[in-house]
Amino acid sequence: MKTVSIKKLLFVIFIFACAVDGWSQEKEKHTSVSGDWRFILGDNKKFAKPEFDDSDWEKIYVPSEWQREGFRHYHGYAWYRKKVTIDYDKNDALYLELGKIDDVDEVYLNGHFIGRTGGFPPDYFTAYNYNRRYHLPKEYINKGGKNVIAVRVYDEGGEGGIMGPNVGIYNYINFSENSMHLFGKWKFHLDDDLKWGAEHVDDSDWEDIIVPATWESQGFSNYDGFAWYRKSFVLPRSFQIEDMLIVLGKIDDLDEVYMNGKKIGSTGSMKRKWASDNEYDKYRTYAIPDELLKPGQTNVIAVRVYDQTGLGGIYEGPITLLPQSEYKEFWRSYRSQYYPNDFWEWLSYYFD
């Protein structure tokens, strides 16, 4: 009996060491967005526009529920706006983290819609308990200059606003030269046809879609079922193609991935068309056979997605090709974003 206790004690010490060592460290911010934002009650689409003059709006601290900021009895629509300077390197992949927002939100970068969580009235549904993380497409960033982030929020009751606790612009990870981000514009087609997995398909008349983000947030509201994503990319001539992985973030619900026409992996059973095991929350990483990638040429990735219900699509990054040798470091960094920063919180999480 006594030995068991000592083992337990040693185990706890070991956990503690691990937590202090790596996972308890907060991820470093690329750009801070906390502090005073501009704030207005009510709702108007023009507030999303970067040129809109918000100089006479109230100031409000972010992150904080607005009830603490003088709006004790207000429930309804409100907008937040913040001007930030954003710069990035070639290999950066940035996302905006806003933590929890009570209850529903929609985010614009320089007037471009970059994502939504929850449902606004009249099709209201809350998402107060989701951590908000929106990819910032480089196409929309004013590199090195002023950028306007506008957040439309609807609060149905209780607390309201951008609650955090973590808000900021983060870089997914610093990858080496022998990696490639595939964020941004992809081609997109509803419905299903296995031919669309081939290398040569004319997808020029397909819709544009931003990856990652749910397709509901990009005009395909309430669509459940099959859809295909495709993206062409040119690898540098010097690109090392041995032992490569593709990370595809999270996909709602099931997926099959084709690289240059060859199936390289899948999550869930497309045949059964049944998501039974929280597939939407699983992190996708697939190995790419050595002979598949073509340095110095155009490569094509195609992703077949089946959404059973609710939100759908490739909805969370990173979306990146990287060497197996960098994967461990990447995974640790990724994990530290997901697991509680505080040691005791982490401990209680672990023992739940």
Alpha-carbon distance 244 to 322, whole Å? 6
The yes or no reply on residue 76 touching another protein (CB under 8 A) is yes
Query: Which of 122/195 has CB closer to another protein?
Result: 122
Stretch that binds another protein, among 63-71, 236-244, 286-294, 324-332 (CB under 8 A): 63-71
Query: Which of 41/234 has CB closer to another protein?
Result: 41
DSSP states of 282-348 as a string?
SEEEEEE-TTT--TTSEEEEEEEEEE-SSS-EEEE---EEEEGGGHHHHHHHHHHHHS-SSHHHHHH
Please pick, from the candidates 56, 191, 202, 205, the single residue that binds another protein as defined by CB under 8 A: 56
For the bound state, the minimum distance from the C-beta of residue 147 to another protein, rounded and expressed in Å, comes to: 24
Residues 146-165 that bind another protein (CB under 8 A): 157
Radius of gyration of the chain (CA): 22
Give me the 7-46 binding string for another protein, x by CB under 8 A, dash otherwise. Answer: --------------------------------xxxxxx--
The yes or no reply on residue 53 touching another protein (CB under 8 A) is no
Query: Which of 69/87 has CB closer to another protein?
Result: 69
For the bound state, the minimum distance from the C-beta of residue 69 to another protein, rounded and expressed in Å, comes to: 8
Give the Cβ contact number of residue 2 at 10 Å.
6
For the bound state, the minimum distance from the C-beta of residue 343 to another protein, rounded and expressed in Å, comes to: 38
Number of residues that bind another protein (CB under 8 A): 21
Residue 21 has which token pair?
């060592």
Please pick, from the candidates 2, 28, 122, 238, the single residue that binds another protein as defined by CB under 8 A: 122
List b or e across 36-49, with b for residues whose CB sees 16 or more CB atoms inside 10 angstroms: ebbbbeeeeeebbe
List b or e across 130-147, with b for residues whose CB sees 16 or more CB atoms inside 10 angstroms: ebbbbbbbbebbeeeeeb
Q: Which residues bind another protein (CB under 8 A)?
A: 39-44, 56-58, 69-77, 121-122, 157
